[in-house]
């Protein structure tokens, strides 16, 4: 099939030989592959062919993406490693994580822009922009240890409600008025600025440059007389107990789902979400079964990007929730005190070009008003809301949601 691996190879062997592919498996629903022990037990027991069959994922498309990731790693110098010189005296410091499907084209575009602007900028820059699959613990640790504005980077890019609103993390600097929205958008993209949603921060502190929408992939072969779920309310119904695969390993998106369900349906909604989780999808259960025919999820909730991996005319159908695809925003935070130096970078990250990379390469709809997100205007988004964020301790709400969810599974 290709010169790197065979579809009969185990997930463990592939990720062991090509660790850069791990992010794709995690993002596609194999969340426990992130855990080293579970990767060894579960990953050794299941082949790539078997895994994709279980998830009803298009083999050709998925394998093609794996090969792209391997060749990107093989042929492209990772500029983030070169640039991250730990130069704490640099004029501008940038930290963050980028969505895996668009990280390479974004970094290519950024490095090209930097080369073109280096004479005009005339400043020293230190940046570290990791793949989202690496997690944000390293960012959290730096924020926990930061005592003053000088201890944190000048620009942050990442998804993550806990990172940006927890009062012990970025929230403590937000409370001091450290950040300013410098995008200059009077209005955001019409997809995110209309009668039912507005992603523009009313306090003009935080910027949102894109979104990661969560949609349903429904396996029609597993419905067994049930109607296709069309809304989050349907997912929480008794009909879909022990029938749903959730993106638990994708912390940013999963936290967004927890918070929105909690806001709309309260504690009972979180408990019902926990009950919806397909228990037999846990790797330990799969290993114990010796790979006998397993119960498959009726619904897999995942980022919109991965819906293009489904087989054409196959049993899997993508459903955009009628009450809105829950979104995890991609935030851009910038220090007000360094506006003059930072503004060119903000203009780049908020540009139409970057917006099109997000929206077209990754299916992460952009907030840039000039970008065509290629999403039907009938498709709505579910957003937590700035009022709810300002009125609640988001870090504490996430902890409550996690406890309720874990108690119910």
- Percentage of residues in the chain with pLDDT exceeding 70? 91
Rounded mean pLDDT, 290-301: 69
Phi first, then psi: give them for residue 310, nearest 5 degrees: -75, 155
Checking if the pLDDT of 163 tops 80, the result is yes
Q: Are 303 and 327 in contact (CB under 8 A)?
A: no
Same domain, yes or no: 318 and 356: no
Q: How far apart are CA 209 and CA 344, in angstroms?
A: 15
Checking if the pLDDT of 335 tops 90, the result is yes
Residue 147 counted as domain residue: yes
The whole-number pLDDT of residue 88 equals: 58
The total of structural domains in the chain comes to: 3
Residue 383 counted as domain residue: no
Rounded mean pLDDT, 333-337: 97
Same domain, yes or no: 195 and 218: no
Residue 390 counted as domain residue: no
In this prediction, residue 100 has a pLDDT band, given cuts at 50, 70 and 90, of confident
Same domain, yes or no: 304 and 202: no
* Tokens coding 3: 């010169």
Angle CA 298–304–308, to nearest 5 = 80
Same domain, yes or no: 309 and 283: yes
Which of 65-79, 110-124, 130-144, 179-193 is the least confident region?
65-79
Q: Strand 244-245 vs strand 299-303: parallel, antiparallel, or unpaired?
A: parallel
Residue 133 counted as domain residue: yes
Checking if the pLDDT of 293 tops 80, the result is no
Residue 292 counted as domain residue: yes
| 237-281 pLDDT, tens digit each | 999 999 999 988 788 899 999 999 999 999 999 999 999 998 654
Rounded mean pLDDT, 23-39: 81
Same domain, yes or no: 102 and 194: yes
Checking if the pLDDT of 70 tops 90, the result is no
Same domain, yes or no: 241 and 354: no
| Domain termination site, one of 51, 75, 99 | 75
The whole-number pLDDT of residue 347 equals: 97
| Domain termination site, one of 292, 325, 358 | 325
Rounded mean pLDDT, 396-403: 96
247: CATH: 3.40.190.10
**Secondary structure in 3-state letters for the chain:** CCCCCCCCCEHHHHHHHCHHHHHHHHHCCCHHHHCHHHHHHHHHHCEHHHHHHHHCECHHHHHHHHHHHHHHHHHCCCHHHHHCCCCCCCCEEEEEEECHHHHHHHHHHHHHHHHHHHHHHCCCEEEEEEEHHHCCHHHHHHHHHCCCHHHCCCEEEECCHHHHHCCCCCHHHHCCCCECCCCCCCCCCHHHECCCCECCCCCCCCEEEEEEEEEEEEEHHHCCCCCCCCCHHHHCCHHHCCCEECCCCCHHHHHHHHHHHHHHHHHHHHHHHHHHECHHHCHHHHHHCCCCCCCCCCEEEEEHHHHHHECCCCCEEEECCCCCEEEEEEEEEEEHHHHHHHHHHHHHHCCHHHHHHHHHHCCCCECCCCCCCCCCCCCCEECCCHHHHHHCCHHHHHHHHHHHHHHHC
Same domain, yes or no: 71 and 84: no
Checking if the pLDDT of 345 tops 50, the result is yes
The whole-number pLDDT of residue 334 equals: 97
Q: Strand 325-334 vs strand 207-219: parallel, antiparallel, or unpaired?
A: antiparallel
Same domain, yes or no: 85 and 206: yes
What is the CB-side half-sphere exposure of residue 263 using CA atoms within 13 A?
A: 20
Map tokens 């993406």 to a residue: 65
Q: Are 261 and 232 in contact (CB under 8 A)?
A: yes
| Domain termination site, one of 21, 50, 75 | 75
**Contact partners, residue 398, CB within 8 Å, separation at least 6:** 161, 162, 166, 255, 258, 259
Same domain, yes or no: 194 and 100: yes
The whole-number pLDDT of residue 290 equals: 37
* Tokens coding 338: 């360094």
The whole-number pLDDT of residue 191 equals: 97
> Where is pLDDT greater, at 341 or 311?
341
* Tokens coding 104: 């390479």
Residue 4 counted as domain residue: no
Checking if the pLDDT of 324 tops 60, the result is yes
**Contact partners, residue 182, CB within 8 Å, separation at least 6:** 207, 334, 339, 342, 343, 346
The whole-number pLDDT of residue 296 equals: 79
| 369-397 pLDDT, tens digit each | 999 999 999 999 999 999 999 999 999 99
Residue 105 counted as domain residue: yes
Same domain, yes or no: 206 and 337: yes
The whole-number pLDDT of residue 404 equals: 97
Same domain, yes or no: 199 and 96: yes
The whole-number pLDDT of residue 253 equals: 92
Which of 24-38, 174-188, 279-293, 367-381 is the least confident region?
279-293
What integer best gives the mean pLDDT of the chain? 88
Q: How far is CA 291 from CA 22, 219, 223, 316, in A?
A: 22, 20, 22, 22
The whole-number pLDDT of residue 294 equals: 55
Same domain, yes or no: 100 and 21: no
Q: For residue 315, give its domain range.
A: 213-325
Of 292, 295, 258, the closest CA to residue 278 belongs to: 295
**Contact partners, residue 354, CB within 8 Å, separation at least 6:** 106, 109, 209, 348, 366, 368
Residue 385 counted as domain residue: no
Q: Strand 155-158 vs strand 381-382: parallel, antiparallel, or unpaired?
A: unpaired
């Amino acid at each position: 099939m290709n010169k790197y691996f065979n579809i009969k190879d185990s997930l463990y062997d592939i990720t062991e030989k090509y660790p850069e592919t791990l992010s794709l498996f995690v993002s596609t629903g194999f969340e426990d592959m992130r855990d080293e022990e579970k990767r060894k037990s579960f990953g050794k027991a299941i082949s790539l062919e078997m895994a994709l069959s279980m998830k009803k994922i298009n083999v050709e498309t998925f394998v093609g993406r794996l090969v792209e990731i391997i060749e990107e790693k093989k042929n492209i110098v990772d500029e983030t490693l070169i640039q991250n010189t730990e130069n704490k005296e640099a004029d501008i410091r940038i930290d963050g994580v980028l969505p895996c499907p668009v990280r390479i084209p974004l970094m290519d575009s950024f490095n090209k822009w930097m080369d073109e602007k280096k004479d005009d900028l005339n400043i020293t820059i230190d940046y570290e922009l990791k793949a989202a699959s690496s997690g944000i613990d390293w960012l959290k640790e730096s924020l926990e240890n930061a005592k003053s504005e000088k201890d944190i980077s000048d620009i942050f890019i990442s998804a993550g409600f806990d990172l940006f609103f927890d009062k012990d993390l970025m929230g403590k600097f937000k409370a001091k008025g450290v950040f300013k929205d410098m995008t200059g958008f009077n209005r955001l993209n019409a997809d995110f600025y209309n009668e039912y949603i507005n992603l523009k921060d009313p306090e003009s502190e935080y910027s949102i440059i894109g979104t990661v929408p969560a949609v349903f992939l429904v396996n029609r072969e597993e419905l067994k007389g049930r109607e296709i779920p069309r809304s989050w309310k349907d997912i929480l119904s008794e009909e879909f107990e022990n029938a749903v695969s959730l993106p638990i390993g994708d912390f940013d998106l999963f936290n967004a789902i927890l918070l929105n369900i909690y806001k709309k349906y309260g504690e009972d909604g979180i408990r019902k979400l926990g009950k919806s989780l397909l228990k037999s999808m846990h790797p330990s259960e799969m290993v114990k079964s010796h790979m006998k025919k397993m119960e498959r999820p009726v619904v897999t909730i995942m980022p919109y990007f991965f819906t293009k991996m489904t087989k054409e005319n196959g049993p899997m159908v993508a459903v955009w929730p009628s009450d809105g695809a829950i979104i995890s925003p991609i935030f851009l935070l910038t220090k007000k005190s360094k506006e003059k130096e930072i503004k060119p970078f903000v203009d780049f990250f908020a540009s139409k070009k970057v917006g099109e990379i997000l929206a077209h390469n990754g299916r992460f709809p952009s907030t840039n008003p000039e970008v065509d997100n290629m999403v039907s205007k009938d498709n709505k988004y579910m957003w937590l809301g700035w009022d709810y964020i300002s009125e609640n301790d988001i870090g504490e709400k996430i902890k409550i949601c996690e406890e309720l969810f874990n108690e119910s599974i």
